[in-house]
Amino acid sequence: MSSNSLKKHKHTELSFLGKSYLIAYNGIQTLGWSYLLLQTLTYFLNRGTLDNFWQEIKWTVLIFQNAALLEVLHAAIRLVPSSVFVVLMQVYSRVFLVAGVLLATEAATVSPGLPLCVLAWSITEMIRYAYYALNLVDAVPQMLTFFRYSTFLVLYPLGITGELLCMYHSLEEIAEKRLFTVSMPNKWNFIFNYHYFLIFYMLLYIPFFPYLFGHMLKQRRKMLSDLSKKSA
């Protein structure tokens, strides 16, 4: 099935309510991530420092990043034709960083990785959600399609680097405070060391990054091929 046929099939399958909901969801997310980018640029152009950056953007990140969890539900109930596994991996890494690292430690919030994350996330999501919203009404400009399937070549590695830096800078604080760590003896006969878990989690980026990046490269080849056919 061609991409055009797939789009038409998708639109006919969606109910009016489902389509309206997705347009609203993607539109709100576009505005939210655009606002985060504006906050970030304004903050640093006004000579803001890393010391207070997280406090400046915290609630914007919490609201719009956690709202992305709905995308897993969208895929699970087939409201969108996406792989639940791929969506879960993409969303989970960011939610985990926010909830398990940035909210848990001070060191991560002053890491140079934080502005890298926020910059990569906000630009990526602003483009992605705008693309999704306009695609639902068949009004995607060709330039937006190109950006949607090209900017990740730089922004995805940038975001991953930022995430890893935030986690790396949090390790010492997590070890010192023994955050989320369960030691023996206890009534559950269970032991868990969050410091070592986070190191293991960081190592998982080695196999998963090529998988997700390769998935996006395949999408890029397909979509830009379709785009070039339309332009011909």
Q: Which residues pair with 192 in a beta bridge?
A: 182
Whole-angstrom distance, CA of residue 41 vs CA of residue 123: 12
**Nearest Cα to Cα of residue 117 among 73, 156, 71, 169:** 156
Which tokens sit at 159? 């975001």
Q: Would you tell me the crossing angle of helices 84-97 and 152-177 to the nearest 10 degrees?
A: 50
Are residues 176 and 124 in contact, defined by beta-carbon separation less than 8 angstroms? no
Whole-angstrom distance, CA of residue 116 vs CA of residue 160: 9
Pick the catalytic residue: 25, 71, 163, 194? 163
Which tokens sit at 88? 């879960």
Which tokens sit at 32? 């939210």
Whole-angstrom distance, CA of residue 40 vs CA of residue 116: 10
Establish whether 163 is a catalytic residue.
yes
Pick the catalytic residue: 156, 168, 201, 205? 156
Q: Would you please indicate which residues are annotated as catalytic (active-site) residues?
A: 156, 163
